[in-house]
Structure 1
Amino acid sequence: MWSPDEYLKQLYDSKDQMREHVLGPQHWRERKGEVRTKLMKALGSLPNGSVSLNPVLLERTEREDCIVERVAFATAEHLRIPAYVLIPKQLEARAPAVLAWHGHGYGSREIVGLQPDGTVDEGEPGIHQHFAVQLVRRGMIVIAPEIIGFGDRRLAADRVKDPKKASSCFALSSRLLLYGQTLAGLRVYEAMRALDYLLSRDEVDPGRIGSMGFSGGGMIAALSAALDDRIQAVVLSAFTSTFRGSLLAMNHCIDNYLPSVLEYADLPELIGLIWPRSLFIESGMEDTLFPESSVREALTVLERIYQEEDALERLQADLFPGKHEVSGRKSYDWLAQRLRA
């Protein structure tokens, strides 16, 4: 009788009713702008984006089917980001390109087939499935930035810890809140700066840009595409859900929580800001972090958004037999086909 469970339930229900009142019954085309504005507010203040990228090439290696570059560029004053760029050997004059966002783990190396120390991973791929490698094999240039808070971009106090187990998410999130910023907002901002860098490369076709994110990287892929129309096709792996079914049902990393966002929109509506561009949802049916029932509930909302505007063929989904992991059994080829169309 003393637990606050019922309070939290009623809070969600009341905010759900408030969202209906604020958004009203109008079609998605009419209310999309307001939801986008509220998302930008929830993400908090962002750095000044006028800083020059000043990119540098750190290293360049050759693999059997691609060239791998490690580059670095500025995103804001006092912030530089390293990234791997995978380039197919058989390259078109100007090729489609994909932003690849890793989830919680040891960082960008985990999706480009490397161990934490940078050596080649000869073993079975983990839950990330080296998905950047899978994408470059399909003829797309892939950039895999190191998300702030992971791998080489952890706070100094965390760099001595095992990168597979220790991130800087909590420390960064809590400290940024004191300045009216959120870690999610900073990551989304850096995603758009990574796109600026990608488009500066001569071999990239600016009209064929995609994004793929896994788990926490799915949030970055979703929200950056929601705010940046330069991204034409998006794959979200192990992320799509409702807030009630996932973030409010269990403890997630603090970097997933956006202040006041539930007053205006649930997660499927935030993802729906990608409409009318192409969107692919994949999720494991045994994923306990983003349960199947919640994924299906979110898909129902997204289908309604896309169907309202005659764009349902641009929304695809694959609920595969698996856990919290990347599948790719349909999403890799779907993304390649969409960016070649």
Structure 2
Amino acid sequence: MDAAARPSAIPGYEDWPGYVRDHPGAQVPEASRPLALVLGVSAPPQDITATVDWEETYDGVTTSQLSWQLGFGPATRAWLVKPAGATAPLPGVLALHCHAGNKYTGASRLIDFPPGRGEPGTEQAGRGPGANESRAPESGPSRYSLYGGRALATELARDGFAVLAHDTFAWGSRRFNLDHPPWRTADALSGFRARWREEGHQPSAAEDYNAAAAFHEDTVAKAAGLAGTSLAGTVAHDDLAALSVLAALPGVDPERLGCLGFSGGGGRSLLLAALSPAIRSYVVTAMMTTFDSLLPTYLDAHSWLLQTPGLARLGDWPGFTALPAAVGFLVQYGISDPLFPETGMRDADRVLAGLHAGAYTGSFWPVGHEFTFDMQQEAFAFLGRALK
């Protein structure tokens, strides 16, 4: 095949390597610089202009769809959810969506949309977010089944917070355009499609995309390494940018900011708190263990979000909680979580208890890999005590 006919390995993100080169070194506390360097966290734009695409009040909450451009790749789409009629400045929380093997959508899985708005996701990958897309194939309660059937960000807003949930790098509005996937991804996708044909299954756009994205993540990690960053580092860049947007929004108290996330979102919560002194309190759900416990049998249960090359040279995963300026944090464990050995979680809990006298709270739940109703209530109450 002629070289000119080869598909791009990073479709929709050809400007990403140049951005990394031109935006070195995010501004982080001195103690966090080694972490930022290993992750390759680029400096996000200083002044981000967030546009309000629409805003509606329904069932006691006001939901606003926002969008902004970070300088590479497609524009970011996000949702701000807050109690209807709130007048005093509210504590702000960044709700960080999970990985879940679902990159077709992102933060929309955390939002309960007003009637008629629907969940976005059917627009062409690589295009900017629109104001009123139609419903995605995975709309409805099933899209947040890992969250106890609840829209996490919307429920947290009902508890008295201004909650911003954004699509991060490689998810939702920030996903890659895989209409013409690169070679390795195309080969893997052809296998899925052949099996679906044999089964008589007509895949949805989301199923087709997520099958491709699962293999494409390896390509993204390779591209990141060549550019001088990482998947986790570029996700952290997007999360730092979203935090700056949240802090600048009207009606948000920039002195009372927190974050929370489940699974991959929990890892993002830990790293964001480690990189930004603006985070006063945070919650990590179903994303805490020791690095040693992942080898050899649990390694393949996790994505490049957790397994950045060189990260273990700086220390163990629980040790990165020593970097933040947060006044307190909560870690929630599922005893039956199939992605982590219980010994690794127990070891992490002991390390954290020894590192943080009074600042760390750990809770073990008789559940698998999920963020149940009761776990959410504990997380909401914890953030309320810290930020309200």
Q: Which residue of 2 aligns with 1:6?
A: none
Aligned residues between the structures: 302
Match for residue 126 of structure 1 among 145, 148, 155: 145
Cα 1:225–1:124, aligned 2, differ >3 Å: closer, same or farther? closer
Q: Map of 1:128-207 to 2, 5 A cutoff?
A: 128-129=147-148, 130-157=151-178, 161-162=206-207, 167=213, 169-207=217-255
Asked whether 1:292 is paired with 2:313, we answer no
Q: Equivalent residue for 2:57?
A: 62
Contact 1:57 1:72 in 2 (8 A): yes
Give the whole-Å Cα distance in 1 for the aligned partners of 2:144 and 2:272.
27
TM-score, structure 2 length as denominator?
0.72
Please show how residues 67-82 of structure 1 align to structure 2 within 5 Å: 67-78=62-73, 80-82=75-77
- The answer on whether the counterparts of 2:82 and 2:163 sit within 8 Å (CA) in structure 1 is yes
Deviations 1:18-52 (A, max 9, x none): xxxxxxxxxxxxxx965x33212211251x43453
Match of 1:102 among 85, 97, 100: 97
Query: What's the secondary structure of 2:294's corresponding residue?
Result: coil
Q: Distance in 2 between matches of 1:275 and 1:294?
A: 25
One-letter amino acid of the structure 1 residue matched with residue 140 of structure 2: D
The separation in 1 between residues aligned to 2:313 and 2:143, in whole angstroms, is 43
Displacement of 1:271: 2.5
Unaligned runs of 5+ in 2: 1-28, 114-118, 122-133, 181-204
| Cα distance in 1 between the residues matched to 2:254 and 2:270 | 19
**Aligned AA for 2:343?**
S
**Shift of residue 226, structure 1, vs aligned partner:** 0.4
C-alpha distance in 2, partners of 1:81/1:152? 6
Confirm or deny that 1:39 pairs with 2:39. no
1:281, distance to aligned residue in structure 2 (A) = 0.5
Q: How does 1:298-313 map to 2 (within 5 A)?
A: 298-307=348-357, 312=358
Decide whether the 8 Å contact of 2:41 with 2:237 is kept in 1. Answer: no
Does 2:299 match 1:278? no
Distance in 1 (alpha carbons) for counterparts of 2:33 and 2:295: 22
**CA–CA distance in 2 between the matches of 1:101 and 1:33?**
25
* Identity among equivalent pairs (%): 25
The Cα shift of 1:62 comes to 2.3
TM-score normalised by the chain length of structure 1 = 0.81
Matches within 5 A, 1:325-336: 325-327=370-372, 328-336=376-384
- In 2, Cα distance between the equivalents of 1:263 and 1:123? 39
Q: CA contact under 8 A between 2:76 and 2:173: conserved in structure 1?
A: no
Q: Which residue of 1 aligns with 2:88?
A: 93
Deviations 1:62-107, CA, capped at 9 Å, x for gaps = 2202011110112334553111111111424100010011112331
> In the aligned structure 2, how far is the partner of 1:71 from the partner of 1:211?
18
3-state SS of paired residue (2:387): helix
Preserved contact between residue 286 and residue 370 of structure 2 (Cα < 8 Å): yes
- Indicate which of 210, 215, 228 corresponds to 2:276: 228
Measured in 2, the distance between the counterparts of 1:123 and 1:228 equals 33
Check 1:183–1:274 CA distance in 2 against 1; reply closer, same or farther (3 A cut).
same
CA contact (8 A) 2:279 2:326 kept: no
- Long gaps (5+) in structure 1: 1-31
What's the C-alpha RMSD, in Å, of the aligned pairs?
A: 2.4
**Structure 2 partner of 1:7:** none
Q: Is this contact kept in 1: 2:332–2:362, CA < 8 A?
A: yes
